């Protein structure tokens, strides 16, 4: 049974999994400003090879395999920007990211709840850094704090958010009972 055209199926699948796919690529090229481009390239390749995809199988896994190859090619063409992973580690880390991104939506929900609990000043800092995408130096100047202080505060907030998110996820998993 086919619902809609092939293109519609494709768009629907990509939209369903785009956040995970984006997170996967971003985690694989942490230092690169090319995440959006890689995502776009990957989307193009996915469409071009969409005939290879077996409906009903795991689209995310298939897409991440293709994304991984895109990133690998990208690393080859940007030798100097190969980044923090050696080629040996690349696959091991990619495997871990692929698994972890399964919970990307749940993590986001948890993060929203955790952000809600942040004191207003910490929220402001997060907003400056992530909503306004300001560099630390600019934030420091705005808030009349040293760069060092802002780096330290951001590190503390991230650390707090990480434990909060992980605790929430753990609580949720245990509340929902053992999962298959």
Partner 1 sequence: MSRTPDPCLDELLNALYDRGLSDAESAQLADHLKDSAAQDRYVSFALLQQSLADVCSPRENLTLGAFRAPPAKPLEHGFRARFSSRSRIVGIGAIVAIAAAFLLFPRQPLTPVDEATGVAVITNSVNALWGAEGLAVKEGAPLVPGTLVLHSGLAQLDFYRGATLVMEGPAALELQGDKSARFLYGRIRTRVTESAKGLRISMPSGEIIDLGTEFGVNLDRTGQAEIHVFDGSVIWRRAGKELSLEQGQALRISPASTPAGSTEARVPADDTAFAGPGKISTLANQQVDQHRQAWLAGREKIRHDPATLLYFDFETTGSWGRTLTNAVAHAGMRSGDGAVVGCRFVAGRLAGKQALDFKRPSDRVLLNVPGHHPSFTIAAWVRFDGLDHRYNAFVHTDGWRAGSVHTHIQADGTIAIDRFGRERLTSTRRIGPRDLGQWMHLAWTWDDDNRVVSLFLDGTLDASMPITSAPAPTPDTPTFGSVQLGNWDETHRNLNGQLDEFVILSRALSAAEILALSRTGAVH
Of these, 9, 50, 72, 134, which contacts partner 1 (CB under 8 A)?
A: 134
Residue 37 DSSP SS3 = helix
How many other CB atoms sit within 10 Å of the CB of residue 125? Answer: 21
The residue among 144 and 178 lying less far from partner 1, judged by its C-beta, is 144
- 104: tokens are 């990307």
The residue among 65 and 130 lying less far from partner 1, judged by its C-beta, is 130
Please state the closest distance from residue 151 (CB atom) to partner 1, in A.
Answer: 6
10 binds partner 1 (CB under 8 A): yes
Of these, 6, 61, 69, 121, which contacts partner 1 (CB under 8 A)?
A: 121
Binding residues among 55-94 for partner 1 as defined by CB under 8 A = 77-78, 80-81, 83-86, 89, 92-93
23 binds partner 1 (CB under 8 A): yes
Tell the residue number behind the tokens 């949720």, with chain if given.
172
Q: What's the length of the chain? A: 180
Tell the residue number behind the tokens 């434990």, with chain if given.
163
The residue among 58 and 163 lying less far from partner 1, judged by its C-beta, is 163
Q: Helices (H), strands (E): how many in the chain? A: 8, 0
Cβ–Cβ < 8 Å for 154, 136: yes
114 binds partner 1 (CB under 8 A): yes
């Amino acid at each position: 049974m086919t619902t809609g055209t092939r293109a519609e199926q494709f768009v629907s699948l990509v939209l369903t999994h785009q956040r995970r796919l984006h997170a996967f690529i971003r985690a694989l090229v942490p230092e690169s400003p090319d995440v959006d481009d890689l995502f776009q390239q990957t989307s193009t390749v996915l469409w071009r090879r969409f005939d290879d995809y077996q409906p009903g199988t795991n689209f995310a896994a298939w897409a991440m395999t293709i994304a991984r190859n895109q990133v690998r090619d990208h690393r080859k063409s940007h030798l100097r920007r190969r980044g923090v992973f050696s080629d040996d580690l690349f696959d091991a880390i990619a495997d871990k990211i692929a698994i972890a991104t399964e919970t990307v939506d749940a993590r986001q929900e948890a993060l929203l709840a955790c952000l809600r609990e942040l004191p207003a000043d910490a929220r402001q800092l997060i907003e400056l850094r992530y909503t306004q995408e300001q560099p630390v130096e600019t934030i420091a100047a705005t808030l009349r704090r040293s760069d060092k202080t802002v780096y330290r505060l951001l590190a503390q907030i991230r650390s707090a958010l990480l434990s909060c998110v992980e605790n929430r996820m753990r609580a949720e998993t245990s509340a929902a009972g053992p999962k298959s």
